[in-house]
Every structure is written in structure tokens, then in C-alpha cells.
Amino acid sequence: MINPVKSATEELKKLIGAALEKIAAESGADASALPKFTVEIPADKSHGDFATNAALASAKALRSNPRKIAEGITANISLEGTSFEKVEIAGPGFINFFLSKSWFGNVVTDILNESTRYGRTDTGAGKKILLEFVSANPTGPMHVGNARGGALGDCLASVLDYAGYNVCREFYINDAGNQVNKFGKSLDLRYMQLNDPANAEFVKSFGTDTEALCHAVYDDTERFPMPDDVYLGVDIITHAKNFTDINGDKYYSVSEEERRAALVDYALPINIKNLELDLGKYRIIYDNWFHESTLHNDGSVQRIIEKLKASGYTYEQEGALWFRSTELGDDKDRVLVRANGVPTYFVPDIAYHYNKLAERNFDTAIDILGADHHGYIPRMKAAMKALGVDENRLDMVIMQMVMLIDKDGNPIKLSKRSGKAITLVTLLEDIPIDAARFFFNLREANSQFEFDLDLAIEQSSQNPVYYVQYAHARICSIIRNMRGKGIFADESKADLTLLTAPEEIELIRALAVLPNTVDMAARDYDPSKITRYAIDLATLFHKFYDKCHIMGEAEELMQARLMLCTAVKTVLKNVLDMLKVNCPDKM
């Protein structure tokens, strides 16, 4: 794995560390008492390619002033044979290092050699991560929040993969419990309405136009009243109608229990299939779809209750079984089994996480959660602790809500009752997939963002994603034009030391930083660092393009710039691949 910045940083740390030890020894100070120092890339380019605060940080331990220490350090460092060609002391005692020309040239050749592998690191060391995201309820269509969660989760999985982790993308299907009961009840009510003899004429008047009928039923709350505790969406009516088309009214007179079961057995698999299809259109392919029902069927839920009881962290009160989570860092105790004997949702969830970490042995499990579920973190960690699983192996990424606003800045209500809820599907009909995936990863998960839906649709052509794609298309165009004139890449004729224009140096620096950026994005579970990297790189390329010509330059320079362009093209491609965003050759 090639990481030019990391190699240079480590090289520098060794040089500085050795010099410091020498100074400490000479002055009789204790070398082990020296504090840690940092090596970083300064914001201001005039401060060199790398800077260290070693002299400032060690001032106390060495009982000397920083500038003097800095002089000592530089006097004890020989740059010969290193990646650096110049060192200087600046400000209160910073030491600035300047990379040699050959280092920049090597970055370009390294990238061309590494090709599609460039950007990958081995930081994760193959550790197994289970990343669960979206996990929308299969009782209805996905909404805008799922669009963000999907883009975030899928790109995070890619980032972790690039950082050397072994990632499994998983969708947890809540196909059991109260949600499903409510789903059955909703379907049942609609089925009964549609098959009520009193409504026969009305239903018949729509003929085969199911969609019109469903909307008419939806709007006619007088004729088709619905209680509060059921799903009201049109999709429920559509299921009931389609079920009726297949089975007629033969379930009209059977027991409610039998009818509900039949309706759920019919509609739930369809919904699950649709989730898979819709997410697939969004370029999200899961490695595994985990059914909650399996945890009930194979006894896991019951076993978890026994395990928790055995842990000693449970007690009974008012007929219910409680989890003493307060003692494990939660702010209150939680009910595990209700007085009526039915476990709360919490128990299968514990069983699920236990399954991930203790039974399937993932090193780490990551959940992407909506901010409204943040209170769930301490209780799940508490449960893992009680079960003897290291709670640090469970990580939660909190994703703030997406607030849709209209042109006037008024929030668009996502009420299901209004029937105007914006689904993931309709959103993706309006916004190109590339733009949506990129857009939703422009900001950190934990920043809530409002977005103007009208603007997102209207301005899709000025979305940053096009800016990045344009850079790639431009490079492809250059290469095409050169080929058209019979000019081909020939590395043996290139002289990379000619790449000295500020635009070229900046561009190479940005190329070099990709593996570090991947590591940081993985460390912070933050794919937005990658989208911003892509934008930064595109910016630097556009600047380079404006300033530096390729065709028409002397052979050695032309070939060197062509290599640089190819390296940029490679990196843009790798980065957009990571985000699963298209990378067009022409725009």
C-alpha cells in the first residue's frame, strides 16, 4: 500500500526523534520525559510541506527556549538521502521541512503504478465490520431520511473497505412485532372496506383502474374512516386491492386472525422485495438481509432473556421483567418483558446485536441511527456489557434529520397522513442518483441540514458532483485529442522534475493526500471527507488546466504533464468509484 504522506511523515518523525534524543542526552535531560510532538501539513504553503512543533513541545522538558532547541534539532539532522531538501526554523520555534522534487515525481509514478489500488490502505488490517444501515420498516415506503442514511451507509462501507476493513453491509428487517401487527390491522381494515357489500357499487365503478380507486378510497374519509393507530398510506389500500383481485372476498368471513395473517403473508414479502429494488436503484447492494423473525423462531430472543437474567442485571416489578441498565451507564432501567408476557422491541434488538458480535464474531458492529434514536445508544451498550461483550465493539453513527424546505424556507411536513410524504423513490425520480449520493454525503452525518427541494432539483446541473465529473471528462478529452493527433503517453520521455509550477505542486500534494484522507474518513466514520476531497482535487485540477498547457509543450514537459493528468484521472475515478458515482469520459 502506497501512502506518500505517511511515509514522509514517519521518516521525518524518526529524524526529529533521533535529534531530540541526542540533544536530551547532551544536556543531561531525561529523554523518556520528552512529550509527544506532531508533524503536520501547514495550512500556509510558505511554511513548507511539513512542520513540527517538536521544539515548542519540548521546551519545558529540556528547560530551554524553543528557538534554541529548534536550532539544535536542525543541526542534528542531515537531509541527505531523505525525501526532504530544505529545513528552516520559523516563528516561535516551528521547524518547517520542504520536500524534494523527486518526492513529487515519485507520487505521480506511484499512482500510475498503483492505478485502481491507489487510495487503499491497510489500516483496518482486515478486521471484520458489520455495518447496518437504513433498516427501514417493511410496512411502508422509504422516506427522505432513508435516502440520506442509504447514501451515508453505503459510502461509509466503501470508505472502510478502502481503509482495509472487511465490511459487510446489512439490512435488518423488522418483520415481527408490533409494527407488523399494525401493518396487518391496517391491511385488514382496508380489505374489509373494499369487500364490504355496501361499497360494492363504488368499488366496481372504477373497473380495473386500481390506482384511481385507491386514491379515491384514500381521499374519501367519510365512506372509508380509519382509526388513528393504523397506517393510512395509499400503499396499504393498494395491497388490499391487489390481494382482493387475487383472492376475491373469500377472506371476508374468516376469522380476523386468519385474514390478517394471510394479508401480511401476501404484502410483507412484496414490500421487502420493493425495498431491495428501490435501494438497488440507488446502487445499494446489501451483503445480507437479516430477518428479525429468525431471532424469534430460533429461540434467540428467549435465550437472551435467560442470559440477561443469569447476568444478574434484571429484576421483576409489577409483573414485568426489567433490565437494570442504570448500573451500566444508562439513565434509566428498561422493560424487557411486559406484564402481558410479550417482550419489548428491545429484546430482539439485543439478540440481534449479540448475534452480530458474539455469534457471528464481527470485530465491530456499526449502526447508523437517526438522531431521534440517540437515546438508544447507552441502553444497547449496557446490554452488551451485561452479556459480557465489550461495548466498545459497538459503534453508533448518529445521523441528523433531513429537513425539507420549500423555496420560501417553509418546512415541508412529512406527515404520512397528508399523503404528500416524499418517498425515496419520488426523490430519486427528481434528483439524479449521482447527485443524490454525492449531495447526501457533502456534510457530516451529525450535522442537521435543511435542503431546499426545489433548489436541489432545479440546480442539479450545478451540484458539486458535476464539477468533479467535469474535471475527469476534461482529462479524458485531452487524452482523446492527443491521440487524435498521434501523440501517445511515453513515460520514458517524461521528465517529472519539470513539474514545478505552483499549480502542479499543489495538485500533486492533493494527490498524495488521498490515502491519509481515506484513513481519516474511516477513523471518523465520515464519508463527507471523501466528497470534499473530490471537490478539492477537482478545483486544483481546473486551476492547473487553466494555467498549464499540455499539447504544444516541449516533449519532456508534455509527457510529464500527461502523466500528471493521468494520475489525476486515476484518483478521481477511484474516489468516485468509492462513492459509487459515475465517472463520465464526456460531458
* Window 536 to 555, contacts with RNA (CB under 7 A): 539, 542-543, 545-552
Q: How far is the CB of 89 from RNA (least distance, A)?
A: 9
Report the site for RNA in 354-393 (rule: CB under 7 A).
371-376
Residue 211: CB minimum distance to RNA, A: 29
| Beta strands 334-337; 166-173: pairing state | unpaired
Residue closer to RNA by CB (options 222, 546) is 546
As measured in angstroms, the least distance from the Cβ of 480 to RNA is: 7
**Residues 424, 427, 431, 432: is their CA dihedral positive or negative?**
positive
Cβ distance to RNA smaller for residue 288 or 462: 462
In angstroms, what is the minimal distance from the CB of 370 to RNA?
8
Question: From CA 383, how far away is CA 157, in angstroms rounded?
Answer: 25
Determine if 98 is a binding residue for RNA (CB under 7 A). Answer: no
* Cβ proximity to RNA, 43 vs 246, nearer residue: 43
Q: Which one of 63, 338, 483, 493 is in contact with RNA (CB under 7 A)? A: 338
User: Which residues in the 47-76 window bind RNA by CB under 7 A?
Assistant: 47-48, 51, 53, 56-57, 59-60
Residue 121 carries which DSSP code?
A: -
Q: What interhelical angle do 528-547 and 514-523 show, nearest 10?
A: 160
**Identity of the residue, 427 or 465, whose beta carbon is nearer to RNA in the bound complex:** 465
Q: Of 213 and 267, which has the nearer Cβ to RNA?
A: 267
524 half-sphere exposure, CB direction, 13 A CA radius = 14
Pick from 68, 58, 71: which is nearest to 21 by CA?
58
Q: Is 443 in the site for RNA (CB under 7 A)?
A: yes
Among 96, 186, 314, 441, binds RNA (CB under 7 A): 96
218 binds RNA (CB under 7 A): no
x-or-dash pattern for RNA, window 12-31, by CB under 7 A? --------------------
Q: What is the closest distance, in whole angstroms, from the C-beta atom of residue 204 to RNA in the complex?
A: 37
Q: Which residue has the cell 437474567?
A: 309
- The verdict on 477 binding RNA (CB under 7 A) reads yes
Cβ-count burial of 435 within 10 angstroms (0-12 exposed, 13-18 middle, 19+ buried)? Answer: buried
* Cα–Cα distance measured from residue 187 to residue 265, given in angstroms and rounded to the nearest whole number: 11
Q: Where are the beta strands (DSSP E) in 391-526?
A: 394-399, 402-405, 449-452
E strands in 402-498: 402-405, 449-452
Shortest approach of RNA to residue 192 CB, angstroms? 23
Tell me if 525 sits within 8 A of 445, measured CB to CB. yes
Written as nine digits, the cell of 415 is 406527515
User: To the nearest whole angstrom, how small is the minimum distance from the Cβ of residue 275 to RNA?
Assistant: 15
The three three-digit cell numbers of residue 17, written as one number: 526523534
Rounded to a whole number of angstroms, the minimum distance from the CB of residue 470 to RNA is 3
Q: What are phi and psi of 177, to 5 degrees?
A: 90, -165
Strand pairing class (50-52; 94-99)? antiparallel
CA distance 107 to 3: 9
Report how far Cα 255 is from the mean position of its chain's Cα atoms. Answer: 46
| Cα Rg of the chain, angstroms | 30
Name which of residues 444 to 473 contact RNA (CB under 7 A): 444, 446-450, 461-462, 464, 466-467, 470, 473
233 binds RNA (CB under 7 A): no
Site for RNA in 159-198 (CB under 7 A): 174, 177-179
What's the min distance (Å) between Cβ of 285 and RNA? 24
- Please say whether the beta carbons of 311 and 386 come within 8 A: yes
Closer to RNA at the Cβ: 103 or 218?
A: 103
User: Which CB, 94 or 165, lies closer to RNA?
Assistant: 94
By CB under 7 A, which span of 107-115, 214-222, 339-347, 415-423 interacts with RNA? Answer: 339-347
| Sites for RNA among residues 136-155 (CB under 7 A) | 137
Cell of 450: 435543511
